[in-house]
Amino acid sequence: MSDGNPSRSGPTIRDIARHARVSAATVSRVLNGHDTVHPNLRDQVLRSLSALGYYPNGVARSLRTRQTQTVGVIIPDILNPHFAEAVRAIQDTLAVAGYTPLLCNSDRDRGREFADVAALLARGVDGLILASAAEHASEIAACVRGHRPVVLMDRNLPDSPFDSVSVDCQTPTRDAVLHLVERGRRRIAHLAGPQETSTAREKLAGYREGLEQAGLPFDPPLVCFGDYTTSQGEAASELLLDRRPPPDAVICANNLMSQGLLRAIARRGLAVPTDVAVIATDDVYWTVLIDPPLTVIAQPVYELGQRAATLLLDRLRGESGPPRCMRLQARLLIREST
Amino acid sequence: MSDGNPSRSGPTIRDIARHARVSAATVSRVLNGHDTVHPNLRDQVLRSLSALGYYPNGVARSLRTRQTQTVGVIIPDILNPHFAEAVRAIQDTLAVAGYTPLLCNSDRDRGREFADVAALLARGVDGLILASAAEHASEIAACVRGHRPVVLMDRNLPDSPFDSVSVDCQTPTRDAVLHLVERGRRRIAHLAGPQETSTAREKLAGYREGLEQAGLPFDPPLVCFGDYTTSQGEAASELLLDRRPPPDAVICANNLMSQGLLRAIARRGLAVPTDVAVIATDDVYWTVLIDPPLTVIAQPVYELGQRAATLLLDRLRGESGPPRCMRLQARLLIREST
DNA sequence: CTGTTAGCGCGTTCAG
DNA sequence: CTGAACGCGCTAACAG
């Protein structure tokens, strides 16, 4: 075996050089649009290039230039349409600059995330976009070697040395409570997310803020926590609906858990909004297929990914300066479930 | 600028060698668990490794070994939950073998797909998994240089020199027609997919097969084509529902178009299944949140991705032999929309 | 404007 | 069992 030839990669730059009777350096120059190569030679090289069907070896180039034109992206789960859309935005945005993402799912496991960061760095990614499971920026800083730029996406961590872009859901969640109160609801429940995540904390804060502004008491049993999955969302919903007296409205912290909530409601034969009003999160298409169409907290998810990618590209272009913390605005979209 | 130092990458293998007073070759050997290095030296090296916080440079290693431990994956669109799930399966399966996918969206554009294949190959991917937009395997063969193994996913191309895994939807689509007929439907429509895609062709074939077996005529106006997107699915559905007399059932070729279909039905105030029965494709969670829950053609999508990855890993492990063509089975899941 | 030289960091011969 | 030397393919110095 030994050096085997796991697929002979086609002609190298030296083959072209020989064929065109020039030096490898000259070929490299025309390849990179460098300097001003004599038109005659340039044409000759170009001809040899297509004659031999050359295409560059990105790995060798990366070793030399110390950049791979790849970006590590870690999200909890691509199956969550929220992240699927953000990822699509990242891909679209990076692509125009010639970068490609390397995608990892952490399933909200810090250990896996840090292991993935290490693996990504070893693969030589030029930067990182993280929808991190970490609670503190310091945990991330600790495992990012080599001064690679990092952008936090969909997370808002205090004292972070990294650029970040996140969505303000606190305000619309507060508005959601106020809206519900206006509709005559008094026992408003919150199907909350995992509190290690900043987005989940902000929604809970918005919920409490709304109650306070409405002069309603904060009733702990009316808050149940899920881990942002459908199944746990359903389980937590059961708990909520078991309260006596039962809630007359539920505000849900993410789109997967909304699915579980609706399932639990349907199983009990409860009517929306008559028995219980529902406010979901993320303006996913199916929320409008449901009867009644769901009132939702709509987040600009595509823009979230787009901004994250842009922030990172700026750093990759060498931009320096203090970390930038960008906030996008979610808004309450009132439909018929309230 | 020039050679700048886009992040000094930390210690190299030679730094470790110096620190441990051995040669780089020896360090390389312990790193790769090679041969039998003298225990004393080995320990010494190990100590230096952690003392200096060494981690290997994957790019350099790749240049040397000619493998990057990456796999190119091209799908139409990650926003389609069908592909999101397949991708998740691919990631999970590749990860245990130390491979990472490089993901591209083609949006069903052959030109983009082929450009992406070239870019992926230039980046040195060890293999490719394609949910290709190509109609013939030869188009793909033409743009895959360097004998890299390719697996076709969710596509069934005749005379293909590549391994492939796809789902038989023809049988369950035929069954769907039969089921509908049994329920008393006679004007059964098909919201079909783009016929350049094998999956769409198979579903149409199943539809016609069912009609034939039921002794029903094939009525061309009862077939409308969409491009697998929600919006075109809605537009094509409008056409279908405008037929006179109108269809009393619709079989839809993918999950995104199902969304459009339901939207069109709702807009006209039609009742499901009373006015029109509906059979969707893919057992996505929301199909069960709808009232009534949707009868669907359920595909083993996770397994689809898993098999594709496994097929590729086998080739990467050096397995030779003729192309393997694997078929998975979809099944009709009868719920209440029929 | 062009060719020569010298590595990037690593794995693997080949001597010893 | 170990070290010296070489080269993967490419780019960037430096001369000419």
Across A24-28, A94-98, B46-50, the highest mean pLDDT is recorded for: A94-98
Query: What's residue A8's pLDDT?
Result: 52
The whole-model pTM stands at 0.95
| pLDDT above 50 (res A266) | yes
Average pLDDT on A54-83 reads: 96
**Min distance B235 CA to chain A CA atoms (Å):** 16
Strand B325-329 vs strand A325-329: parallel, antiparallel, or unpaired?
A: unpaired
User: Which residue is listed with tokens 């991330």?
Assistant: A140
pLDDT at B5 (0 to 100): 40
Measured CA to C1', what is the nucleotide nearest A11? D9
pLDDT of residue B119: 95
Residues of chain B contacting A259 with CB distance shorter than 8 Å: 285-286, 289
**DSSP symbols for B124-136:** T-SEEEE----SS
Contacts across the A-B interface (CB distance below 8 Å): 145
pLDDT-derived band of residue A149, with 50, 70 and 90 as boundaries?
very high
Distance CA A91, CA A13 (A): 30
CA of B2 to C1' of C5 (A): 17
Domains of chain A: 13-56 (1.10.260.40), 68-167+301-329 (3.40.50.2300), 170-298 (3.40.50.2300)
Instruction: Give residue-wise pLDDT tens across range A111-128.
Output: 999 999 999 999 999 999
- pLDDT at site B184: 96
Nearest beta carbon to residue B78 from set A7, A88, A145: A88
Grade residue A7 by pLDDT with cuts at 50, 70 and 90: very low
Structure tokens at A223: 């808050």
A65 Cβ contacts chain C strand, under 7 Å? no
In this prediction, residue A39 carries a pLDDT of 87
Both tokens of A279, joined, read 């406010």
Q: What was the pLDDT predicted at B7? A: 44
Distance A166 CA to D5 C1' (A): 53
Nearest CA-CA partner of B124 in B210, B77, B61: B61
Q: What is the pLDDT of residue B38?
A: 86
D strand bases under 7 Å from protein CB = 1-5, 7-13
**Structure confidence at residue B4 (pLDDT):** 35
pLDDT tens-digit series, residues B44-86: 899 999 999 899 999 999 999 999 999 999 999 999 999 999 9
Substitution target in B93, B96, B100, B106 with the highest count of A β-carbons within 10 Å is B100
Q: What pLDDT is attached to residue A34? A: 79
**Mean pLDDT value across residues A126-150:** 92
Q: How confident is the model at residue A4 (pLDDT cuts 50, 70, 90)?
A: very low
Closest chain A CA to residue B6: A66
Per-residue pLDDT band for A41 (boundaries 50, 70, 90) equals confident
Distance, CA of B22 to C1' of C6, in Å: 25
Residue in B with minimal Cα distance to A10: B146
pLDDT grade for A145, boundaries at 50, 70 and 90: confident
Task: Flag the least confident range among A80-94, A307-321, B42-56.
Answer: B42-56
Average pLDDT value for residue range A303-322: 96
Q: Which residue among B70, B84, B286 sits closest to A286, beta carbon to beta carbon?
A: B286
| pLDDT, tens only, B265-308 | 999 999 999 999 999 999 999 999 999 999 999 999 999 999 99
Best interface-test mutation with B: which of A123, A229, A263, A317 has the largest number of B CBs within 10 A? Answer: A123
User: Does B59 contact A63 at a Cβ distance shorter than 8 Å?
Assistant: yes
The model's pLDDT over B221-233, given as tens digits with 9 standing for 90+, comes to 999 999 999 999 9
Q: How far is CA A16 from the centre of its chain?
A: 43
- Residue B257 corresponds to which tokens in the numbers above? 């178009």
Find out whether A300 and A166 touch, Cβ atoms under 8 Å. Answer: no
Under an 8 A CB cutoff, do B124 and A58 touch?
Answer: yes
**Strand C reaches within 7 A of the A146 CB:** no
Residue ranges of chain B with pLDDT lower than 70?
1-9, 35
Of A66, A100, A101, the CB nearest to B6: A66
Are A138 and A163 in contact by the 8 Å Cβ rule? The answer is no
- Residue found under tokens 């199943």: B206
The pLDDT of residue A187 is above 70: yes
CB atoms B88 and A104 under 8 Å: no
Of B7, B101, B290, the CB nearest to A146: B7
Specify which residue's alpha carbon is closest to the C1' of nucleotide D3.
Answer: B23
Kindly provide the residue ranges of all beta strands, DSSP E only, lying in chain A, ordered along the sequence.
70-75, 100-105, 127-130, 150-153, 163-168, 188-192, 223-225, 249-252, 277-281, 295-298, 325-329, 331-333
Q: Mark yes or no for CB contact B145/A55 under 8 Å.
A: yes
Which one-letter amino acid corresponds to residue A171?
T
Query: How many alpha carbons fall within 13 Å on the CB side of residue B244?
Result: 0
Q: What pLDDT shows up at residue B36?
A: 72
Nearest to B193 by CA among B155, B160, B161: B155
Cβ of B69 < 7 Å from strand C? no
Are A84 and B62 an interchain contact pair (Cβ–Cβ within 8 Å)? no
Which one-letter amino acid corresponds to residue A93? Answer: T
Residue A146 confidence (pLDDT) above 80:
no
B:3-32 Cβ neighbours of strand C under 7 Å? 9, 12-14, 24-25, 28-29, 31-32
- Residues of B within 8 A of A146 (CB-CB) are 7-10
Nearest CA in chain A to B3: A65
Rg (CA), chain B: 26
Residue B202: what pLDDT?
97
- Substitution target from A7, A31, A85, A288 for chain B, most B beta carbons within 10 A: A7
